[in-house]
Amino acid sequence: MTESKEPLTKKQAEILDYINAFVGSHGMAPTMYEIADHFELTAPTVFVHLQKLAKKGYIEKKNKARSMKVVGSGGKPKFVSQTLSIPILGRISAGVPLLSEENYDGVLSLMPSHVKGYDDSKPIFALTINGDSMEEAGILHGDHVVCIQDPNKKIVNGDIVVASIYNSETTVKTIEFKGDKVHLIPHNSKYDIQIYPKSDVLIQGIVIGLQRFY
């Protein structure tokens, strides 16, 4: 007996049909940008549709270009590109799902070898740095930091994290735990250490890489 899957929306079904047809005619899966061009959608919107198709069990995908496989289609599409397609998040806050469509602000493409600690089983995302509070750690205004979400990894003193403060900002800082307090430490003498109760701080990700464009 075939296991029933959650039904698709009209657009999800159209995208799934397109992926199937593309693999049949090209021998490999389409990229997110090819799907976006075909349907006249933005890449972040396509990314959301693909995430939902994967969650519903219709496709298998990794954070690599052309790594999609339609479940039950037989045969594995060729991986002609080994780049990671990493969503850039424009804003995130406590209480908002990290990979919500409203947060997307483009896509960053990197080779896996350029991202130390990359694990394709964990959600990965990038943030654009706004400000100079981490410049003495080599993280400058306009840089993209690459972050991984790993709820099973214990955060330790000295990790650089993406932290959302209850009813406040989301920030990239070095973290230290002291008793029932969390210290978020900037790397610029112009800024003070931020101290909050543990209950007011949500760790959204751990910084594992950096990309700078000149």
What is this structure's pTM? 0.63
Q: What is d(CA 69, CA 62) in angstroms, rounded to the nearest whole number?
A: 10
Percent of the chain, pLDDT > 90? Answer: 24
103 & 25 share domain = no
Q: What is d(CA 13, CA 188) in angstroms, rounded to the nearest whole number?
A: 50
Is residue 174, in this structure, part of any structural domain at all?
A: yes
64 & 126 share domain = no
Q: Report the range of poorest mean pLDDT among 32-36, 54-58, 90-94, 145-149.
A: 90-94
**Nearest alpha carbon to residue 50 among 162, 185, 91, 64:** 64
Does 122 participate in catalysis according to the annotation?
A: no
The model's confidence at residue 186, banded by pLDDT at 50, 70 and 90, is very high
Is residue 75, in this structure, part of any structural domain at all?
A: no
From 168, 173, 178, 199, the catalytic residue: 173
Task: Encode pLDDT of 118-161 as tens digits.
Answer: 776 778 888 888 889 999 999 999 898 999 888 778 899 999 99
Does 173 participate in catalysis according to the annotation?
A: yes
CATH number of the domain residue 41 falls in? 1.10.10.10
160-165 sheet: strands from edge to edge: 104-110, 84-89, 124-128, 144-148, 201-211, 160-165, 170-178, 181-185, 194-197
Q: Which residue has the tokens 């009813």?
A: 167
From 121, 133, 189, 190, the catalytic residue: 133
Range of the domain at 38: 10-70
Task: Encode pLDDT of 68-85 as tens digits.
Answer: 778 765 444 333 344 667
Q: What is d(CA 205, CA 201) in angstroms, rounded to the nearest whole number?
A: 12
